[in-house]
Structure 1
């Protein structure tokens, strides 16, 4: 994806080239090389779990469920899976960043929050980016006596995050509690108006907010906490005092933490459309920089510049998981057109394919890879892509090969199924298991391949005197018609079975085989030897002289067409045996005629 052009136009796609070259190139942009490295169990579970969510999402779309409810629900399932992965200490720390950015995207894009509720959600979001409250509170008990400054910085951070209850908790843990100034500060914090839900009237909330802030301003103006105390600073922060926020800038770890905290108390009804201006003001006046990936992604979301946001996602070391799943949600959102993303469909396809290809390089994840490929519109329209992907799969066992074939047939890809059959047949030919090779060749319905395997079995018979796959050949039905060589092999196998028990049937079969011209050239001498052995047996009776005439006629034709393939000793024996049987047949015919004349 690093080769993606600036306008996000999807590059040409090839399964073969991507597996040979593209995956290696992707590894340079993605620290986890799924080709060379064995992925850990948490990551494997994450991939499987999110693939299940992806499959369920597609099924729900087909059922025409309400997308405005469905997409936020699915988004939270993806984020929950990321949280589990991050808790497992997997080898992909980048997903901590992804989880944070995804959460922000939910708040601003996937399920935009209304004014009042928005700032609360953003405060909670910034709180999740820092160490947990439980860790902070447990640390404070041990370090308070040695580090008073750390205590008050933590107190201010909790206020900036809107974690008022936790701020009151640490006040009560201070050794000076319940001194009057501590209890007054707790009362101020506990009386902060909260926008309950989207149904609350914003103007009503704003009126309550103004009354509360006026009270706090009065407390600060009267210097009831003094003029240079932590509580006085807290009052100034609670009233959105710009100068005080600048003085306390050191407690904020990022420009967006600073911007959100300041807006929470200066303009609590800030809307999504106001965030771009808020970001610009913060970055231009506060001295913060936004060069790290998280800051850049947050800035793009604040400005609702999804074009830039998606371009940056392409550079993450997450093997394209985020782009594939997040953009899939956005593409199916009813509000996507409002964001004016150039070539969004092509980009969506590219993310899905890149993610699928990387999964395809990991042998155990091939089914998951096919799930994503089969949901690419270009793959549905151009089935050659899916066909090539299926053919490229490694199938070490017949069970896996049959499973891949079943998927190919389910996807309506008969060419892929036939190719897998052919490859399996060639594999078993190389391993010398001709009976198995014949089974796969017949399934492929590929006449040249079936003929080749049949000839190999016949050649092996000349060396060993044993025919492989006799049971299989015995049960052939219409499949026998796939190849003349297969028909010959099946009939010769039948001849081989009955030559001792039923010489007459064997004679008829042999005559048919010689007359059919289905035999490979190297096997004609064997047919003639079989004919000699059969005719030399006393119990063999040729009831019809025409049969012998046809046999000799076939012999003459073989001599004419393939003179080098019939040896003279065999020819002499055959002529003698045929002449003898013909004489016996004529003698029998004369005796029968005389008997009829006598009576």
Structure 2
């Protein structure tokens, strides 16, 4: 069988837009090809004969080609991400239940940060592995790093805009933090220059880019410290810029002034800066003049420095800071449009996602993150937390239950994907179970068709099925394992699985197999199980008979002959013994009939005689004659003993 893999191009932000073409290697696939879907994300291509009931004469006619998608999340280094995020996901579902009673926004923020820390650990693991890898493996790891870097970046911004409860809704401090964390431009150079603390630092080739970068990122104190390291740092021009930076108003919710008062103060400060700039005092220092233009929010100044940064995100925080520092979350769309307008030719998928987030278009955000080739991990978890935070209700304006159906569909798709993996299926099951009733129906169908390779896996499937009350699945697995043991001739194992599944039909088959095994080998399988089965013995008559017969053997071995005899008679008279077992059952009376002291009463003996005559075909002539002789002797002994006992009682 030939097997090929269909791999999604994970080196790009989106899955490939162009269709992939595969050349089928065998000539038998060139004409009359058929296709059939298999389990999971797989399908099989096979040659389809044009003649009905045609017998293949060539080995090529029976070739199959299995094609499957390579799943990014099934990569060994990313399985930890899947497992750890599952725990946080389940905690989020519990928090969502609690939120129905009281506000739980703080817990949602905590769980969002847990998701981000999991992504960060995953990135660190990928970076460490990439340093040790070579060739294709290294390229794959680098593409994974690009994907999860974008995921972390978007999740952090989404957390700021839609999950965190920002005091006063003034988003600037958090936006600056986001820019500094994900786009740390010139940070290392600034640390080196400040660490050296030497006059004349402007000789460093990146000195001015670093100073400007610190201003754009809102790190005004660092920029002032760097300016003082300039050889002309004590000149009037530098002092003028330093004073302007030092006197810049900074809004604080807890500062005791209203937004309106801060706005007046800010505009007054910017007017002073424009006045200083208009006086041409800084004409001899174009770099200082550029800094002054930036802090008054001059568009052309920002546009002139745009080419020095890898993306417009780097200057986003600075643009908001020096044009509208009082901006609320819903007012960031204009800032995004302004900064993106400075973008050189070409844009990335990350650009589209950030623009959609800042503009508040969550429908577009979800559409964009679904295009990331991480097999739905990001879209599933981010949509879920936004749904529980109540931030997706805007999508329900003109339709009913759009957000809940969207959230459920993503979780169901992600859960079904994980169910395909041999060790992650239990994780996938927890996702399906969180979307009742559709999820549980899917889980039941998938579990019933899951290959059971070992008894340990069967036990795991049963445990998970019972956990989610999928009793039918547990019983089905038990029946399959019972049948497997029966076909292998292991009656004891079959009996164990049949009783675990509480199936009357399966227990009857297994009990008959155990009785048949005893008739051939004189050994009862699973005696310990039968002696402790309890109410499970009532599942079938055959199992009840087997259990009682096992009790008879136990009594006989412990030399409790009278109790054993009474139990044996009850088995004989119960008429539930299978036909093939009557010979064994009747012959079991012989050693008890020949005991030193009679253990069967005369009535017991008559019952055995009656059964012997009725089942005469069960014993051949010699064995029947031997049993009749033993019964006659026992009847004589019991009649005499019972007669003596009656006379003594009468006296």
TM-score, L = length of structure 2: 0.74
DSSP 3-state at the match of 1:192: coil
2 CA distance for matches of 1:508 and 1:187? 109
For structure 2, the 5+ residue unaligned runs are 1-7, 9-13, 16-37, 45-65, 128-140
Who is 2:539 aligned against? Answer: 482
Aligned 1:3-14 pairs, distance under 5 A: none
2 CA distance for matches of 1:578 and 1:278? 107
Aligned 1:504-543 pairs, distance under 5 A: 504-531=562-589, 535=593, 543=601
2 CA distance for matches of 1:111 and 1:395? 45
2 CA distance for matches of 1:84 and 1:146? 38
Aligned 1:108-147 pairs, distance under 5 A: 108-111=161-164, 117-131=170-184, 134-138=187-191
Is 1:468 the counterpart of 2:515? The answer is no
DSSP 3-state at the match of 1:240: coil
What per-residue deviation string (whole Å, max 9, x for no partner) do you get for residues 7-61 of structure 1?
xxxxxxxxx9447679x99954x533x2xx3245863674366346435534643
Task: Using the TM superposition, give the Cα deviation of residue 207 of structure 1 relative to its aligned residue in structure 2, in angstroms.
Answer: 1.2
- Name the CA shift for 1:460/1:180 in 2 (closer, same or farther; >3 Å): farther
Q: Please say which of residues 579-588 and 310-319 is displaced more in the overlay.
A: 579-588
Task: Using the TM superposition, give the Cα deviation of residue 162 of structure 1 relative to its aligned residue in structure 2, in angstroms.
Answer: 1.3
Task: Using the TM superposition, give the Cα deviation of residue 82 of structure 1 relative to its aligned residue in structure 2, in angstroms.
Answer: 2.7
Who is 1:236 aligned against? Answer: 293
1 CA distance for matches of 2:106 and 2:480? 47
Q: Which of these residues, 505, 508, 513, is aligned with residue 451 of structure 1?
A: 508
Q: Structure with the greater relative contact order (CA < 8 A, sep ≥ 6): 1 or 2?
A: 1
Q: In the comparison of the two structures, how many residue pairs are matched? A: 568
8 Å CA contact 2:514, 2:524 repeated in 1: yes
Q: Which of these residues, 622, 628, 641, is aligned with residue 572 of structure 1?
A: 622
Is 1:47 the counterpart of 2:104? The answer is no
Is 1:295 the counterpart of 2:351? The answer is yes
What per-residue deviation string (whole Å, max 9, x for no partner) do you get for residues 436-468 of structure 1?
543332232111211222223223323432223
8 Å CA contact 2:319, 2:339 repeated in 1: no
Who is 2:403 aligned against? Answer: 344
Task: Using the TM superposition, give the Cα deviation of residue 98 of structure 1 relative to its aligned residue in structure 2, in angstroms.
Answer: 1.3
Task: Using the TM superposition, give the Cα deviation of residue 580 of structure 1 relative to its aligned residue in structure 2, in angstroms.
Answer: 5.6
2 CA distance for matches of 1:233 and 1:253? 20
Aligned 1:197-236 pairs, distance under 5 A: 197=253, 200-226=257-283, 229-236=286-293
Task: Using the TM superposition, give the Cα deviation of residue 376 of structure 1 relative to its aligned residue in structure 2, in angstroms.
Answer: 1.6
TM-score, L = length of structure 1: 0.80
Task: Using the TM superposition, give the Cα deviation of residue 310 of structure 1 relative to its aligned residue in structure 2, in angstroms.
Answer: 0.7
Aligned 1:186-585 pairs, distance under 5 A: 186-197=242-253, 200-226=257-283, 229-258=286-315, 260-280=317-337, 283=340, 285-286=341-342, 288=344, 291-340=347-396, 343-362=402-421, 364-365=423-424, 368-379=427-438, 383-388=440-445, 405=462, 408-423=465-480, 425-426=482-483, 434-499=491-556, 501-531=559-589, 535=593, 543-544=601-602, 547-555=604-612, 557-558=614-615, 566=618, 570-578=620-628, 581-582=631-632, 585=635
Q: Which of these residues, 107, 122, 125, is aligned with residue 85 of structure 1?
A: 122
What per-residue deviation string (whole Å, max 9, x for no partner) do you get for residues 163-188 of structure 1?
21222232233444344433332222
8 Å CA contact 1:86, 1:95 repeated in 2: yes
1 CA distance for matches of 2:88 and 2:630? 81
Task: Using the TM superposition, give the Cα deviation of residue 387 of structure 1 relative to its aligned residue in structure 2, in angstroms.
Answer: 3.9
Task: Using the TM superposition, give the Cα deviation of residue 476 of structure 1 relative to its aligned residue in structure 2, in angstroms.
Answer: 3.8
2 CA distance for matches of 1:116 and 1:207? 19
- Name the CA shift for 1:69/1:258 in 2 (closer, same or farther; >3 Å): same
Q: Please say which of residues 498-507 and 286-295 is displaced more in the overlay.
A: 498-507
2 CA distance for matches of 1:31 and 1:44? 11
What per-residue deviation string (whole Å, max 9, x for no partner) do you get for residues 351-391 of structure 1?
22233344444555555444433322335xx6433445666
Who is 1:182 aligned against? Answer: 238
- Name the CA shift for 1:256/1:138 in 2 (closer, same or farther; >3 Å): closer
Q: Please say which of residues 294-303 and 586-595 is displaced more in the overlay.
A: 586-595
1 CA distance for matches of 2:639 and 2:80? 87
2 CA distance for matches of 1:498 and 1:248? 96
Task: Using the TM superposition, give the Cα deviation of residue 269 of structure 1 relative to its aligned residue in structure 2, in angstroms.
Answer: 3.4
What per-residue deviation string (whole Å, max 9, x for no partner) do you get for residues 125-171 of structure 1?
22222236642324557999797553222222222221212222322
- Name the CA shift for 1:256/1:25 in 2 (closer, same or farther; >3 Å): farther
What per-residue deviation string (whole Å, max 9, x for no partner) do you get for residues 92-142 of structure 1?
422221121112112322347588832343233222222366423245579
What per-residue deviation string (whole Å, max 9, x for no partner) do you get for residues 228-271 of structure 1?
61111111111122222222221233244445533432333344
1 CA distance for matches of 2:451 and 2:552? 40
1 CA distance for matches of 2:437 and 2:68? 21
Give the alignment's Cα RMSD to 1 decimal: 4.1
- Name the CA shift for 1:411/1:46 in 2 (closer, same or farther; >3 Å): closer
Who is 1:7 aligned against? Answer: none
Q: Please say which of residues 221-230 and 534-543 is displaced more in the overlay.
A: 534-543
What per-residue deviation string (whole Å, max 9, x for no partner) do you get for residues 189-247 of structure 1?
12211111277422211111112111211221122221661111111111122222222
Who is 2:227 aligned against? Answer: 171
2 CA distance for matches of 1:427 and 1:266? 74
8 Å CA contact 1:116, 1:269 repeated in 2: no
2 CA distance for matches of 1:491 and 1:383? 40
